[in-house]
């Protein structure tokens, strides 16, 4: 049998293939399509409010009765010091002026207008809505949340980007560990936003396999049967796909963004904190070039909240120079088929 079955049995799915929870790109429809391929769909709840999270959970439940993972952000929220308040005002002014100079009229939110949600409120609604799989990134859950979830029969999937993080997840009782290599698209799942581990996926997976007993999902650079086989040989028992699905029918990306991804070259792909305040891998553009090495980057999630309105305005103008386009290092022929078809084709190719 080609597929390892440890994770499949734990998650109640046929194939240990996971649709990555790409907040802003993945949709409820993408998660449902993944379940139709007998894989695990991921519902990206990020740092949404409890009310918004309930709405999405209920929506997906009307569309599928198959298992899915609710994915949340467990990041540290920086204290609002006087120096942060001053820097916020300066950064807001700089980005508004930059946008204006480039034909984008936008009013960014004042600091007091920003809502920053903690994940603990999501934990309660996830339990109330009877979700049985929770995946998370940007750190580890607190002990109380882990206990509450486990008492309610929830399987926990934590993300790591180093051996140290993997060991911390295992020690705290996390059931499955998702290993994210530096080549993965989008945000680093690192516990710290600064000084992130920059370890290639194959080296990282091999080392973690030697040091932890928890079953491992691998994320980063898988785009065909060969790359999936390679990480399987290194000990992965589950396989997470994000980059492969960026241009799929169910992707939230607009046509102009999909077209930009199809034209991407190796030298276009960078790690940047400019849009969100956390390192993310994506396509270099004018905004990144202007902001990346400047003083105008706030800590996550404040930079992310500040630039949100700019990104929406740029999207409405179909301006790729001021939107975030996350992408992994594995450039390939992006398919516009449905997520279900893309995953089924991958599974078929692996089983040949």
Contact 206, 234 (CB under 8 A): yes
pLDDT in tens, 304-344: 999 999 999 999 999 999 999 999 999 999 999 999 999 99
Is residue 71 within 8 A of residue 135, CB to CB? The reply is yes
Residue 339, SS3 per DSSP: helix
> Using an 8 Å Cβ cutoff, are 155 and 68 in contact?
no
Q: How far apart are CA 248 and CA 197, in angstroms?
A: 30
State residue 318 phi and psi, 5-degree precision: 55, 45
Helix (H, G, I), strand (E, B) or coil at 130: coil
Per-position pLDDT tens, the chain of length 352: 799 999 999 999 999 999 999 999 999 999 999 999 999 999 999 999 999 999 999 999 999 999 999 999 999 899 999 999 999 999 999 999 999 999 999 999 999 999 898 899 999 999 999 999 999 999 999 999 999 999 999 999 999 999 999 999 999 999 999 999 999 999 999 999 989 999 999 999 999 999 999 999 999 999 999 999 999 999 999 999 999 999 999 999 999 999 999 999 999 999 999 999 999 999 999 999 999 989 999 999 999 999 999 999 999 999 999 999 999 999 999 999 999 999 999 999 999 8
Query: Scanning the structure block, which residue is given the tokens 């065909």?
Result: 224
The model's pLDDT over 7-62, given as tens digits with 9 standing for 90+, comes to 999 999 999 999 999 999 999 999 999 999 999 999 999 999 999 999 999 999 99
Enter the pTM of the model.
0.97
């Amino acid at each position: 049998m080609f597929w390892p079955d440890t994770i499949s049995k734990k998650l109640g799915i046929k194939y240990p293939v996971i649709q990555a929870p790409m907040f802003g790109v993945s949709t409820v429809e993408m998660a449902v399509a993944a379940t139709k391929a007998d894989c695990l769909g991921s519902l990206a709840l990020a740092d949404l409010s409890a009310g918004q999270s309930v709405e999405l959970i209920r929506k997906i439940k009307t569309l599928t009765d198959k298992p899915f993972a609710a994915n949340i952000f467990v990041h540290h929220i920086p204290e609002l010091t006087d120096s942060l308040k001053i820097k916020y005002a300066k950064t807001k002014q700089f980005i508004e002026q930059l946008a204006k100079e480039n034909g984008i009229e936008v009013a960014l939110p004042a600091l007091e207008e920003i809502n920053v949600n903690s994940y603990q409120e999501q934990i309660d609604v996830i339990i109330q809505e009877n979700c049985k799989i929770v995946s998370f990134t940007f750190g580890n859950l607190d002990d109380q949340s882990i206990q509450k979830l486990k008492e309610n029969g929830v399987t926990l999937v934590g993300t790591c980007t180093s051996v140290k993080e993997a060991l911390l997840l295992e020690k705290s009782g996390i059931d499955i560990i998702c290993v994210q290599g530096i080549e993965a698209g989008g945000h680093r799942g690192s516990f710290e936003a600064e000084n992130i581990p920059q370890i290639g996926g194959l080296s990282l997976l091999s080392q973690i396999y030697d040091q932890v007993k928890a079953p491992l999902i691998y994320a980063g650079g898988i785009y065909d049967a060969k790359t999936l086989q390679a990480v399987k040989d290194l000990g992965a028992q589950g396989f997470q796909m994000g980059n492969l699905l960026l241009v799929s029918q169910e992707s939230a990306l607009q046509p102009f963004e999909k077209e930009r991804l199809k034209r991407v070259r190796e030298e276009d792909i960078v790690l940047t904190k400019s849009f969100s305040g956390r390192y993310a891998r994506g396509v270099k553009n004018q905004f990144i070039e202007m902001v990346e090495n400047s003083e105008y980057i706030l800590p996550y999630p404040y930079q992310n909240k500040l630039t949100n309105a700019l990104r929406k305005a740029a999207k409405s103008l179909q301006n790729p120079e001021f939107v975030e386009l996350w992408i992994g290092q594995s450039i390939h022929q992006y398919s516009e088929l449905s997520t279900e078809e893309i995953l089924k084709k991958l599974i078929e190719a692996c089983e040949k």
